[in-house]
């Protein structure tokens, strides 16, 4: 990473207008992984200096580093707590992949706080922040990917306009498991509940319609809206999407997602992805070995939580499930294999088979 590098940390609306917070970063992340999240965590831990600059400042769009930015080649979308972080972590084990896992500045632009900003201005802001995130962090970086939050799917049309080459993956999971996970450990976006306008923007409702809503209902309704928005977009253009179910992970990263993206990993990269798949995807530093928890979450769900799931989430999930069943499972890559010039790689294929056999048992 170049000395004096500034990472886009947050996008803010203040009395002075639309602002972008830039955090200084100047060295390799401590854990050795070249990722936006690792670099930003290290900069924050070191209390690195930051500055807030107007999003209209022309200096933001200047300089050779921005001109060399990678285009957004893939977006990972999801409905929260469904394995998308595992997908991002495994993709990050590939040397040529630069991935930003739910970068806050981008989520700010796609979240409820940016709703009053005119659509054209939002697109300009998205284009700028994507370019800042897409600056190559290593010489070998050639695929720029972003894992998005479950909120902001209603801005997907704007995102597609500024990133027309983006390929789209949607990760799904049993809706009751998703809901229980979000109710037991509330997501950051649930803070919008406490602001009537942001609550309404998050739900796509009038403020009066959401005035008497409980927090638990709000979380279920936001998740249901994310599922519904995703189902609508995917149904309109199914060939543009790859749907992956949580039960297919981690094997689907190797046998479905990478072929869809046109990437063939090297043997050592498969081993890195295999190592990553053994651990809990969340957290930093030493992480525990992953233990499947879907059955436990369904068993612990209360009658009230099951009712919330049926009221807000079941129907759009069932639509997604139908679309998922319609997709072919093998030999469907629409893109050429771009990372490995070798047509045959028996060692990589053997490692892939081992990873699939070992880890599918643990995730089903």
Q: What confidence score (pLDDT) does residue 343 get?
A: 32
The CATH number assigned to the domain holding 114 equals 3.40.50
Rounded to an integer, the average pLDDT of 197-205 is 91
What's the total number of domains in the chain?
1
Work out the mean pLDDT of the chain and round it to a whole number: 85
Q: Is the peptide bond before 210 cis (omega within 30 degrees of 0)?
A: no
Please state the pTM of the whole predicted model: 0.86
Query: Is residue 343 in a domain?
Result: yes
Q: Which residue would you say has higher pLDDT here, 20 or 352? A: 20
- The Cα–Cα gap between 182 and 219 comes to 7
Query: Is residue 59 in a domain?
Result: no
Query: Is residue 21 in a domain?
Result: no
Q: Angle formed by the axes of helices 196-203 and 215-236, to 10°?
A: 30
Q: Which residue would you say has higher pLDDT here, 63 or 210? A: 210
The answer to whether the CB of 135 falls within 8 A of the CB of 43 is: no
List the domain range (segments joined by +) for residue 237.
Answer: 68-363
Each residue of 65-104: b (16+ CB within 10 Å) or e? Answer: eeeeebebbbbbbbbbbbbbbbbbbbbbbbbebbbbbbbb
pLDDT tens-place string over residues 29-82: 544 456 788 888 888 989 999 999 999 999 898 876 788 899 999 999 999 999
Query: Is residue 42 in a domain?
Result: no
Query: Is residue 190 in a domain?
Result: yes
Query: Is residue 304 in a domain?
Result: yes
Query: Is residue 18 in a domain?
Result: no
Rounded to an integer, the average pLDDT of 205-215 is 92
Query: Is residue 40 in a domain?
Result: no
The token pair at 325 is 């069943």
Radius of gyration, alpha carbons of the chain: 20
| pLDDT over 60 at 286, yes or no | no
């Amino acid at each position: 990473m170049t000395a004096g590098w500034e990472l886009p940390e947050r996008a803010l609306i203040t009395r002075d207008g639309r602002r972008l917070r830039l955090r200084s970063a100047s060295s390799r992340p401590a854990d050795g992984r070249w990722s936006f999240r690792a670099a930003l965590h290290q900069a924050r831990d070191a209390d690195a200096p930051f500055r807030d600059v107007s999003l209209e400042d022309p200096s933001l769009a200047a300089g050779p580093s921005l001109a060399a930015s990678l285009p957004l080649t893939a977006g990972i979308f999801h409905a929260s707590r469904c394995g998308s972080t595992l997908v991002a972590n495994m993709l990050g084990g590939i040397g040529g992949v630069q991935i930003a896992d739910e970068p806050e500045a981008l989520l700010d632009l796609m979240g409820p706080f940016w709703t009053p900003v005119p659509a054209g201005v939002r697109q300009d802001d998205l284009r700028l922040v994507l370019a800042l995130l897409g600056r190559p962090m290593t010489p070998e970086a050639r695929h720029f990917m972003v894992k998005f939050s479950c909120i902001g799917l209603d801005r997907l049309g704007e995102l597609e306009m500024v990133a027309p080459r983006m390929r789209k993956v949607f990760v799904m999971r049993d809706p009751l498991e998703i809901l229980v996970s979000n109710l037991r450990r509330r997501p950051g976006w649930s803070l919008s509940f406490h602001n009537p306008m942001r609550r309404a923007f998050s739900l796509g409702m009038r403020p009066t319609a959401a005035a008497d809503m409980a927090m638990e209902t709000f979380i279920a309704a936001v998740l249901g809206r994310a599922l519904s928005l995703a189902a609508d977009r995917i149904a309109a253009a199914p060939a543009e999407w790859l749907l992956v179910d949580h039960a297919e992970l981690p094997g689907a990263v190797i046998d479905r997602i990478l072929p869809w993206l046109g990437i063939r990993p090297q043997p050592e990269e498969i081993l890195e992805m295999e190592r990553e798949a053994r651990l809990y995807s969340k957290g930093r530093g030493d992480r525990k070995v992953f233990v499947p928890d879907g059955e436990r979450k369904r068993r612990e769900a209360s009658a009230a939580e099951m009712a919330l799931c049926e009221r807000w989430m079941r129907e759009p999930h069932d639509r997604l499930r139908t679309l998922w069943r319609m997709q072919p499972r093998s030999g469907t890559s629409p893109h050429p294999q771009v990372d490995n010039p070798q047509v045959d790689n028996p060692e990589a294929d053997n490692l892939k088979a081992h990873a699939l056999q070992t880890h599918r048992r643990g995730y089903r």
